[in-house]
Structure 1
Amino acid sequence: MDETVVFKDRFEFEGILRAIKKYKITYMPVSPPLVMAFTKSELTKKYDLNLIMFLRSGGAPLGKEVTERFKEKFSTVELIQGYGLTETGGGATKVIGPEEAGRYGSVGRIAENMEGKIVDPETSEKLPPRWRGELWLRGPTVMKGYVRDEKATAEILDSEGWLKTGDICYFDSEGFLYVVDRLKELIKYKAYQVPPAELEHLLHSHPEIVDAAVVPYPDEEAGQIPMAYVVKNPGSNITEAQIMDFIAEQVAPYKKIRRVAFITSITRTPAGKILRRKLINHSLSHGLSKL
């Protein structure tokens, strides 16, 4: 069967939509920000996204709320998440069929040639289903190590060949994997750990918010507090207090967003990952009054 691959030299949202229509694209690898754009942008009314049969999202966790809103708008498009690392030689999980794709928020089950377990990041003790911890992977496609960097190799690979992914995840009772956040990005609020991605998923579910990112902000009493950078819909009058209340109604008290800054766009990599360090440095060096 012949297949055609379409490449774009740079990302431009309406250009992506034009290409879908022009080339009748049926499959796309995407990142969560593009899924959100499909869901919220009015531009999609000018183009027929139902030409697409299949979207595979990767690069960052895709929230259940965003997935549900996408499916409401594009019911015929199959949207699934994938998970893998450069160090695993590609995909480490797989989703098979519409039923598994309907488990919104999951990246599927561990692939046939891979082993996976969740461990306590402090003790390396294996954790049971539904317990959150660091995902470790082992299999024939896992790298042997970093070239000419024994120190970095020893930090990520143990003596039994387990790769420490640095991702906080959990398995459900049926073996489906859910990615929570990066271990190094957890916000340390008093004695608690707050995953930014969880709060970002909730922010993305708000109809007046185009995009959002959550970063740690230093606090004398708590150590760190969750701070949200928010991109509003054009014409929206949503306030900082309304955003904080929106989140507070849905999370435990220690997860509440306690600072909000409005911004014109969230800095991301070409693959869609949030450049948190830039946002953290911005918050510390500029202060909210200059945002």
Structure 2
Amino acid sequence: MVKPSTMAEESAANLRLWIDPKSGYCSHTKTFHSLRPPVPLPPLSQPLSLTQFTLSLLQSSTAKPTTSVLIDAASGRHVSYQTFLSQIHSLTLSLQSLALSKGHVAFILSPTSLHVPVLYFSLLALGVVVSPANPIGSESEIAHQVRLTQPAIAFATSATANKLPKGDDKIRSIILLDSPEFLSMLDRDGSSVTQSDTSVEVNQTDPAAILFSSGTTGRVKGVMLTHCNFIALIAGIHAFRREPDPTLPDGQGVLLFTLPLFHVFGFCMVVGAVATGETLVLMERFEFEAMLRAVERHKISYMPVSPPLIVALAKSELAQKYDLSSLRFLGCGGAPLSKEVVDRFCERFPSMEIGQGYALTETGGGGTRMIDSEECSRRASVGRLAENMEAKIADPETGEALPPGKSGELWLRGPTIMKGYVGDDKATAEILDEDGWLKTGDLCYFDDEGFLYIVDRLKELIKYKAYQVPPAELEHILQSHPDVVDAAVIPYPDENAGQIPMAYVVRKPGSNITEAQVMDFVAKQVAPYKKIRRVAFINSIQKSPSGKILRRELVTHALATGSSKL
């Protein structure tokens, strides 16, 4: 009798025969597989928190105890790895003394600061579920998030605490990160340790974080992600990290974080940077010229960014006034970025590379990415499938799985996929099927070399007569106009056509470009059914923290204003 493990190995070997080594497509299962070598993961039966796993990887890095892990861009204050680890240990002990324990939820409402990463690592070490929210959210939005997560404690600042719910929904315990009480918790015993050592046994399948989806297609949802979700992601980041640069201090890069730490992109990048022993320069609030100053002052080598910043750098004259020569790589995700914008950026900054990636909060930051110069040269793509991931391209009408070159809805499966939406089984079942496939809602295709291309959001396609018009395509064209700083395209109801493409345009300062000129510029580059048929000028385009255009708000505004201009 053949042993089950041998049968499984033979089955896997037979499956590999069907997989195209160039595209990763399996003609037998109609599934795309990652072209990267599999990254081994700790067995799920092994108790292991994300904090333990990350700090174990840190030990193998070239970072010294005196290496700065965190730098505040505004004040210039540094925190060394030695101090950082000591603070994690001290705060973990302090939180335990508050009877905060495994399974509790901690709601965090704070702008980016040197304290937030320490808080994340300490809470995760205890098995406490981290739930960070946007500190500029409205009171009603925050109340909704609190109802979803049912936190045992909240961490806020003196500027944000007043937004927390009052009355019956009041959170029983609130700690202010800018208070003497919290500062004393960071220095409980003053000991220097190499790793946060607690007696709490955390299972990898335990929930680690509830992160909030952008809510651009409905009310905000709480995405439940486990320790093993993040461990899989960080293992991949560590395995495919770039080689240490001998010209840099300790051989490691210096990262500037313009991303909010409550967003999945920022959350994962902070943990990944600590795992590889890098230095993080944090900005409490983003301001374009302050970002340029920080790059020059701290010799930033790498920045994770959202597309609007790439657009700004490609078009701004201000960027020419600063020394950005240390900046070598920009990791871009969160929203589509057109090839034309990347081309313009690389023409202006030839020594910099842009590595695009694709992920959702629901995929735990996992999806696709670019890991070397050859992949970064595919400027219209968002990279190849990440390690240990699988994908399908499903026909939106029939659900049939499609081969390379065919567009359909992207489905993803792998170890980083969320557990589900908190308190919303119906929404979970709609997006996550019984076989573990997550339906992204994005219209995409893979080429014959395994590169993924985003066409548009399925739910955002404009239905003009019998045609489907992707807003992202028109936005990319509009952004290529020298007099346009930014643009967004939305569906506008029309009695004859059903919907027509309407553009919101941000003019370049001093420009007098007209509605007719905008429409003519696009019309010359697209099929007739894709033409812009309505234009409104606006001072700025509303976007989520990850750079996604908030189309629902623009549609609501367009309907409220009718034919009036902005």
Q: Same fold (TM over 0.5)?
A: yes
Return the alpha-carbon distance in structure 2 between the equivalents of residues 99 and 140 of structure 1. 26
1:151 corresponds in structure 2 to 426
Structure 2 contact 366–417 (Cα < 8 Å) conserved: no
Q: RMSD across aligned C-alpha pairs, in angstroms?
A: 1.2
Per the normalisation by structure 1, the TM-score is 0.97
Does residue 410 of structure 2 align to residue 127 of structure 1? no
SS in structure 1 of the partner of residue 325 of structure 2: helix
2:543 corresponds in structure 1 to 268
Does residue 507 of structure 2 align to residue 232 of structure 1? yes
Residue 52 of structure 1 deviates from its aligned partner by: 0.5
1:168 corresponds in structure 2 to 443
Return the alpha-carbon distance in structure 2 between the equivalents of residues 280 and 290 of structure 1. 14
Deviates more, 1:181-190 or 1:219-228: 181-190
Residue 146 of structure 1 deviates from its aligned partner by: 2.2
Normalized per residue, the structure richer in strand is 1
Question: What is the correspondence of 1:49-88 to structure 2 with a 5 Å cutoff?
Answer: 49-88=324-363
In the superposition, relative to structure 1, how do residues 247 and 290 fare at CA in structure 2: closer, same or farther (>3 Å)?
Answer: closer
Residue 212 of structure 1 deviates from its aligned partner by: 0.4
User: What are the superposed Cα offsets for residues 213-234 of structure 1, whole Å, 9 maximum, x if unpaired?
Assistant: 0001000010000000001111
Amino acid at match of 2:353: E
Kindly name which structure, 1 or 2, has the bigger radius of gyration based on alpha carbons.
Answer: 2
Unaligned runs of 5+ in 1: none
Does residue 203 of structure 2 align to residue 203 of structure 1? no
Return the alpha-carbon distance in structure 1 between the equivalents of residues 454 and 282 of structure 2. 29
1:46 corresponds in structure 2 to 321
Return the alpha-carbon distance in structure 1 between the equivalents of residues 290 and 562 of structure 2. 35
Question: What is the correspondence of 1:253-264 to structure 2 with a 5 Å cutoff?
Answer: 253-264=528-539
Structure 2 contact 501–534 (Cα < 8 Å) conserved: yes
Return the alpha-carbon distance in structure 2 between the equivalents of residues 161 and 87 of structure 1. 12
User: Which of 33, 40, 49 is 2:308 aligned to?
Assistant: 33
Residue 151 of structure 1 deviates from its aligned partner by: 0.8
User: Which of 83, 90, 108 is 2:365 aligned to?
Assistant: 90
Per the normalisation by structure 2, the TM-score is 0.50
Does residue 563 of structure 2 align to residue 282 of structure 1? no
SS in structure 2 of the partner of residue 216 of structure 1: strand
SS in structure 1 of the partner of residue 382 of structure 2: strand
Structure 2 contact 301–327 (Cα < 8 Å) conserved: yes
Residue 9 of structure 1 deviates from its aligned partner by: 1.1
Residue 16 of structure 1 deviates from its aligned partner by: 0.9
2:296 corresponds in structure 1 to 21
Deviates more, 1:161-170 or 1:141-150: 141-150
Residue 248 of structure 1 deviates from its aligned partner by: 1.0
Amino acid at match of 1:207: P
Amino acid at match of 1:139: G
Residue 238 of structure 1 deviates from its aligned partner by: 1.3
Return the alpha-carbon distance in structure 2 between the equivalents of residues 266 and 148 of structure 1. 32
Runs of 4+ aligned residues of structure 1 deviating over 6 Å after TM superposition are: none
Does residue 380 of structure 2 align to residue 105 of structure 1? yes
Residue 243 of structure 1 deviates from its aligned partner by: 1.1
User: Which of 474, 487, 504 is 1:212 aligned to?
Assistant: 487
SS in structure 2 of the partner of residue 288 of structure 1: coil
Amino acid at match of 2:441: G
Amino acid at match of 2:294: A
Return the alpha-carbon distance in structure 2 between the equivalents of residues 50 and 228 of structure 1. 36
User: What are the superposed Cα offsets for residues 236-269 of structure 1, whole Å, 9 maximum, x if unpaired?
Assistant: 1211111111111111111111111111111112
Amino acid at match of 1:27: Y
Structure 1 contact 136–165 (Cα < 8 Å) conserved: yes
Structure 1 contact 189–225 (Cα < 8 Å) conserved: yes
Does residue 497 of structure 2 align to residue 222 of structure 1? yes
Structure 1 contact 82–91 (Cα < 8 Å) conserved: no
Deviates more, 1:29-38 or 1:13-22: 13-22
Residue 129 of structure 1 deviates from its aligned partner by: 1.8
Amino acid at match of 2:462: I
Residue 187 of structure 1 deviates from its aligned partner by: 0.7
Return the alpha-carbon distance in structure 1 between the equivalents of residues 499 and 475 of structure 2. 17
Structure 1 contact 200–213 (Cα < 8 Å) conserved: yes
SS in structure 2 of the partner of residue 72 of structure 1: helix
Structure 2 contact 366–416 (Cα < 8 Å) conserved: no
- The count of aligned residue pairs is 291
SS in structure 2 of the partner of residue 106 of structure 1: coil
Return the alpha-carbon distance in structure 2 between the equivalents of residues 146 and 263 of structure 1. 35
Deviates more, 1:68-77 or 1:177-186: 177-186
Amino acid at match of 1:78: E
Residue 101 of structure 1 deviates from its aligned partner by: 0.5
Does residue 397 of structure 2 align to residue 140 of structure 1? no
Identity %: 71
Return the alpha-carbon distance in structure 2 between the equivalents of residues 288 and 8 of structure 1. 40
